[in-house]
Structures are given as structure tokens and as C-alpha cells.
Amino acid sequence: MGFKINSKELSKRLEQLAKVVSQKNVMPILADVMMDIRGDMVVLTTSDGELWLSLKCPIVSSDGDIKLCVNIKDLLSLMSNIDNDVTITVDDGESQITCNYGNGEFNMPYDNADEYPTSDNLQGEAKSVIVEGRKMYNAIRMTEFAIATDTATVTVSPVLGGMNFDFNANGMSVSATNRFKVAIYNDDTVRDGEGCVNIPRKTISIISSLLGGIDGEVKISFNNSCISVSNTDLKLSSRLVDGRFPDCKKVIPESPSLTVSVKKNDLLLALKRVMPMSNDISELVRMEFGEGHVTLTTENAIFGKRASETVECDCSQSFVIGFKGSDLTEIIRNVDDEDVTVELADAKRAGVFYASSAYTKDEYVSLLSPSNIQ
């Protein structure tokens, strides 16, 4: 038995599926892609034991339904260097496949697809939400930077190693934080769901890479332990992070002492120029606001390095605060607007950053804890 498939179509999907596969697998078969040929389509599936991704790919022709598992790294390496259709013949007796591409061929072993682990089904009562793929993608894109990535934080608080999606009567609220950075995205047009899920960082990354290239709606189904995201061409299933996610909105200061607007690119360029002179560990950037300007200052006293630059803004009073430069740069870069509004309560409370005009503070806001400037 066998089937014919376009190498470019297959390679494109294998590249996406390979992101799921771990370098070290608890089961050898998890290094494979499962290929389930059904009529004029093949469903390709990969997993790391916690996350499953299935993508559909059209085939040119087939002799019948076939199901087998092949090492994805080897198959991708070969298919990415072929430009035409490939005929794949399955030899049940030798547990081998032969891939013929016209002027050459290669042979590979395959594994029994019955041994491939299946995804966790959404047992019990599951809830569902229909969301435009682009809206979910934007929510992830604008908040993903705040997810905790260091082992120490994630070990103590596993939920901080993921992103929280809260579907309620007011819409969809998406939050991420590592305790120092906070990002909150709200969309009040998503109103057909109810429930809250904590999605792991790897799953978030895979979802983002999938949704960035598609249009249309996706269906999100979830219960207390699992989630699935699907449309007609893909299905992603993942286990959730257990635990209560912090209420990020509570850390937003209600009565700021200072509210200023500054040009995003001017601030980013100034940070890029002064950061090389900062302390390698603290990365402290001192922000001193004055009449019509803010001065950014960095210093590394041990090596005698110092830098400062003044940027215009609409400030009308004095205020001094410090932030970690790399985090501040990340916060500013993720504001989708030419002008960034900064709200400051005092030197010990988180700074609030949002777009001056592109969207409201209620739609997207980010916060950054201050650094000690003494």
C-alpha cells in the first residue's frame, strides 16, 4: 500500500509539528509524527506527552487508509530538500517505507501507530468559546512577554509559567505575569463563553505560531484539566496548569501622581543607547522627569561607565523612578502606538504603560515593578 503527496505541502506542516516534539522524550515513539491517511487527506500528529497537535494535509492519491509513525526529524530533513511529489510505499513485512521522488528514493523504518499515545479527552462537562483567530493571536502577542521563564519562579508558582484566559460576561481577559512584569489584554467583543484556564507557555507559543498565519474563527473547548483549540484544518490539545492565577488588575494604582505621554521610538532608541553603560546585573535605568522631558541615566560604577539621554515628553512636574532596562524596553516595545502613556504613583509602586491613542487603558495595559534607585 502507499500514497502520493506533495513534498512542499508536507514539509510546511512538518515544520510546524516539529515544534511540539521534545529533544528528550519519555517514550521513543514521541520522536515520531503519526500519519493517518484517510481518503484524500492525511492527518499528521505530534506530541510531547502533554501537548498534541494535529494538522491536515492534502494528498495526491492513495491506495487506501493507512496509519503509521515515522521519525519527524528524519522525514522533515528529507522532504525539505525535495521539490516535487513523493510516492510513499509501505512494506508491512519489513516495517519500512520507501519514498520515491522520481530521480531517487530513500528508505525509513516506521513504528506501529497503535502504540502512539492519544490526547487527553475533555472528560465530563466541557465549555466552549468561539473566537476569531486574529483576536486570540493579538492577545497572545501582546502579553506573552510577561510569562515567567525562570525555573525558580515557575517551580514555586507553576501558574506564572503560563497565560491566563478568563472568559466572562464582560468579554475575554488575557493576563500574564512573572511578578515583576504584568500584561493585561481585554476584548469585550468575545461574549459567548464562561470559564477560566491557565495555558502552559509552550502551548501558548504553538498556538501563536499557528494563529499568526490563518484567518477565521477557532473553537476553544476546555474543562478543569485540558483545553483544545481547533478549526477545520487543525486541532491542538493540551493539559492545563493547575492553580489559581493572581488577579493582575489589583496591582494597577488607582490614583497616579504623574501621567505623561512620550514618543515610543524616541524612548526605545534612548534606551538602546544608554543600556550598554548599565550595571550588568541590575540593568538599572533611572528615569528623572522634569518640565517637558525625561532623562534616562545608567551607570556601572565598578567599570567607571555612565550614560544619560534626555527625551521630550509632556511632563509638567518632577518625578524620579528606576526600572530594569531590559524589562522596560520590552514593555515599551509591546505598546502598539506611536505614543506611550506612562502613569506613576510613587517610586515604590509599579509603573503603568499603555497606548496614548490606538486603544484604551481598559483594552491593553502593562505594568513594571520599580527598581531601587538608591
The more confident residue out of 81 and 126 is 81
Q: Where does the pLDDT of residue 236 fall: very low under 50, low under 70, confident under 90, or very high at 90 and above? A: very high
How crowded is the C-beta side of 103, counted as CA atoms within 13 Å?
3
C-alpha cell at 127: 465549555
Q: Report the DSSP beta bridge partners of residue 53.
A: 46, 236
Residue 172's beta-bridge partner residues?
A: 167, 187
Which residue has cell 468561539? 130
| Mean predicted confidence (pLDDT) in 201-218 | 91
Domain boundaries defined on the chain: 2-115, 127-247, 252-368
| 3-state percent helix, strand, coil for the chain, nearest multiple of 5 | 25, 40, 35
Residue 124: pLDDT over 70: no
Strand partners, 97: 90, 108
d(C-alpha 103, C-alpha 254), whole Å: 70
What is the domain class of 2-115 according to CATH?
Answer: alpha beta
- Burial of 112 from C-beta contacts in 10 A (0-12 / 13-18 / 19+): exposed
Domains 2-115 and 127-247 share a fold: yes
Q: Tell me phi and psi for residue 299, to 5 degrees.
A: -155, 140
C-alpha to C-alpha distance for 291 and 273, rounded to whole angstroms: 22
Residue 360 neighbours by CB under 8 Å, 6+ apart: 354
Residue 136: phi and psi, rounded to 5, are -65, -40
For residue 106, CA distances in Å to 12, 61, 79, 96, 142 come to 20, 20, 11, 10, 44
Cα distance between residue 214 and residue 360, in whole Å:
26
pLDDT tens track for 359-368: 889 999 999 9
Angle in degrees, 0-180, between the axes of helices 325-333 and 264-274, rounded to the nearest 10: 160
Q: What is the mean pLDDT of the chain?
A: 93
The pTM score is 0.91
How far lies 156's CA from each of 150, 198, 304, in Å? Answer: 11, 16, 38
For 127-247, CATH number? 3.10.150.10
**What's the pLDDT score for residue 121?**
67
pLDDT, one tens digit per residue, over 300-329 is 999 999 999 999 999 989 999 999 999 999
Structure confidence by residue, pLDDT tens digits, 323-363: 999 999 999 999 999 999 999 999 999 999 999 998 889 99
Across 290-304, average pLDDT: 95
Question: Confidence band (pLDDT; 50, 70, 90) for 191?
Answer: confident
CATH superfamily, region 252-368: DNA Polymerase III, subunit A, domain 2 (3.10.150.10)
| pLDDT above 90: residue 204 | yes
